[in-house]
Amino acid sequence: MKKLLALLLVAAMSISMVACGGSASSSAASSEAGSEAASSEAASSDVKIGVCIYQFADNFMTLYRNDIKADLEALGYKEGTNFTMVDGANDQAKQTEQIDSFIAEGVDVLIVNLVQSTSASTIIEKAKAADIPVVFINREPTAEDLALYDKCCYVGADARQSGTFQGEIIAATENKGDFNGNGTVDYAMIMGDPENVDAQYRTEYSIKALEDAGLKVNKLYEQRADWDQTKGQENAANVLSQFNDEVDVIFCNNDAMAMGALQAIEAAGRKVGEDIYLVGVDALEEAVQAVAAGRMTGTVLNDDVSQAQTAVDAAVRYLKGEANDKNYTIDYVKVTPENAADYIK
């Protein structure tokens, strides 16, 4: 019965490969190479891939995990049979248990979005002892941690770049981020989880970009809102009631928090572009719409589609017994009213 299924799968895969054989783009070429590997893997053995997501409720990671699922399915892998995705519920102890179970089950490769980047070494040691390769995504382990095991790598984006782009978007505005004309960019920073390098770098580099553009800055407020829309809204409401017209810019480390901040800005009767600026990161659909409509100053594309494809390609290379580079970095892209239409899905 198993053999019959395997044969049917091979037949289905070769039909689908013939169907997409004419495509010339390089990403199609790389996923074709991937699907070749996967078809033989999926057909010849019971490949098992464990995918650990730090928190299903995260807006950006929801897009990302749906991309991973679609990419794996496009390669012929079936959820429940060849891959399983688990929700770490923002709890590292829980995620570590999930990884222990995947290891006990004998998965062939792990794709891991850590809850806490600082747990990378523990996870790497466990995987190494079981000889299971690991592709880390989204939350970056240190170079030191990655060096502990030849079969682990990281797929992500350089958060410094996203912060720099946020600052550059503000520096490029007509009044250079200074509505009240006091010669200073008076800003509030609404942060993601500060344990996460994405939050640290975006906070630092957005302001550095303003300073590099020769602007004076004044931090009015900086609080964590843990990547969360409701907390973003609450923090922005605090900022506006505490500082009112003094605030020129609200920087948010991600779009979920920026969407919350936008609610607070509009509820306070303020108008983005007229008396305040607002920037985020991710280019969530809602945020891109807001940028296109002038309700948000800008955002930065965090390319979930390319990151997911790159992570799946890396996992497939491990399945084939091939090596990966230590780091795969996907570029961020600035999204402003000029190009927002290109990023509406």
Single out the segment in contact with ligand BGC by CB under 6 A; choices: 1-9, 16-24, 53-61, 123-131.
53-61
Cβ of residue 176: shortest distance to ligand BGC, in angstroms?
26
Cβ of residue 51: shortest distance to ligand BGC, in angstroms?
15
Single out the segment in contact with ligand BGC by CB under 6 A; choices: 32-40, 69-77, 171-179, 192-200.
192-200
Closest to 335 in 3D by CA, of 305, 292, 293:
292
Q: Should residue 254 be labelled a site residue for ligand BGC when binding is judged by CB under 6 A?
A: yes
Residue 58 vs 71, nearer CB to ligand BGC? 58
Closest to 76 in 3D by CA, of 106, 108, 47:
47
Sign for the CA dihedral angle at 304, 305, 307, 311 comes to positive
Beta strand pairing call for 333-335 and 299-301: antiparallel
Residues 86-125 binding ligand BGC (CB under 6 A) are: none
Closest to 50 in 3D by CA, of 139, 113, 131:
113
Q: Give percent helix, percent strand, percent coil of the chain, each to the nearest 5.
A: 50, 15, 35
Cβ of residue 302: shortest distance to ligand BGC, in angstroms?
5
Query: For residues 100 and 84, what is the distance between their CA atoms, to the nearest angstrom?
Result: 14
Q: Give the tokens for residue 121.
A: 């070494």
Cβ of residue 12: shortest distance to ligand BGC, in angstroms?
35
End-to-end CA distance of the chain: 42
Q: Should residue 61 be labelled a site residue for ligand BGC when binding is judged by CB under 6 A?
A: yes
Q: Give the tokens for residue 138.
A: 């989204």
Report yes or no: 323 and 317 within 8 Å, Cβ to Cβ: yes
Residues 293-322 binding ligand BGC (CB under 6 A) are: 302
Cβ of residue 252: shortest distance to ligand BGC, in angstroms?
10
Single out the segment in contact with ligand BGC by CB under 6 A; choices: 75-83, 119-127, 190-198, 332-340.
190-198
Cβ of residue 289: shortest distance to ligand BGC, in angstroms?
17
Query: For residues 88 and 66, what is the distance between their CA atoms, to the nearest angstrom?
Result: 16
Q: Should residue 203 be labelled a site residue for ligand BGC when binding is judged by CB under 6 A?
A: no
Single out the segment in contact with ligand BGC by CB under 6 A; choices: 57-65, 117-125, 127-135, 170-178.
57-65
Residue 43 vs 288, nearer CB to ligand BGC? 288
Q: Should residue 71 be labelled a site residue for ligand BGC when binding is judged by CB under 6 A?
A: no
Alpha-carbon distances of 73 from 18, 38, 49, 66, rounded to whole Å: 17, 10, 12, 10
Residue where the block lists tokens 């044969």? 7
Q: Give the tokens for residue 108.
A: 């062939």
Single out the segment in contact with ligand BGC by CB under 6 A; choices: 33-41, 52-60, 85-93, 314-322.
52-60
Closest to 236 in 3D by CA, of 199, 287, 189:
189
Single out the segment in contact with ligand BGC by CB under 6 A; choices: 56-64, 128-136, 262-270, 329-337.
56-64
Q: Should residue 155 be labelled a site residue for ligand BGC when binding is judged by CB under 6 A?
A: no
Report which residue type is found at 13: M
Residue 35 vs 229, nearer CB to ligand BGC? 229
Binding site for ligand BGC (CB under 6 A): 54, 58, 60-61, 138-139, 192, 196, 198, 227, 254, 256, 281-282, 302
